[in-house]
Amino acid sequence: MCGIAGIIDFLAAKPQEGLLRRMLGFIRHRGPDAFGIYTDNEAGLAHARLSIVDLSGGDQPIHNEDRTVWVVYNGEIFNYPELRHELEKRGHQFYTRTDTEILVHLYERRSLRTRVFPVSSTRKPSQTFLPAGRRWAP
C-alpha cells in the first residue's frame, strides 16, 4: 500500500521540499520501493511507492503530456487497460504503463467516472487542487 502526502498554500512561498521529505519519512513503511516529490509555486505532492503495476516506470507523482496536471494516488484501477485504449484513441499520449497515469488524462477529459480513493491532483495554470479520499481509521 502506497503513502501520499502534500502541501497546498496559495498565500505562502513555494512548498519546502525538505518538509515533504520529512512527511515521506513518516509514511516510509507504506511504500518502500520508491519516493517521489513534485512542487510548484503553491503545491507540493509526495509519494511513497509500493510497486505493483509497471514496476520499472510507474514512479509518482505522475503528470500529463504538458506537465500541467499532476497526481499522487494510492489504489488500483482494474479497468485501466480499457480506459487507456479509449484515451489513446482520443489523442492522449502515455509515458508509463501504470494505471495511475489514467487519472491525469481522465481529469483532462472531465469525465472522471472511475471510483477512485486516495488521490491528490494539482493543475496549472488554473491553480486547481483536487483532493479526494476516504476516511482512514486505525
Position 91 pLDDT exceeds 90: yes
Tally of CB atoms within 10 A around 107: 18
Give the CATH architecture of domain 3-132: 4-Layer Sandwich (3.60)
**Confidence (pTM):** 0.76
Helix (H, G, I), strand (E, B) or coil at 51: coil
Spell out the domain ranges in the chain: 3-132
Q: What is the pLDDT of residues 3-35, one digit of tens each?
A: 888 887 777 777 788 999 999 898 888 877 888
- Max distance between CA atoms of the chain, in angstroms, equals 42
DSSP codes joined into one string, 124-137 = TTTTEEEEE-----
Distance CA 134, CA 114 (A): 15
Instruction: List active site positions.
Output: 2
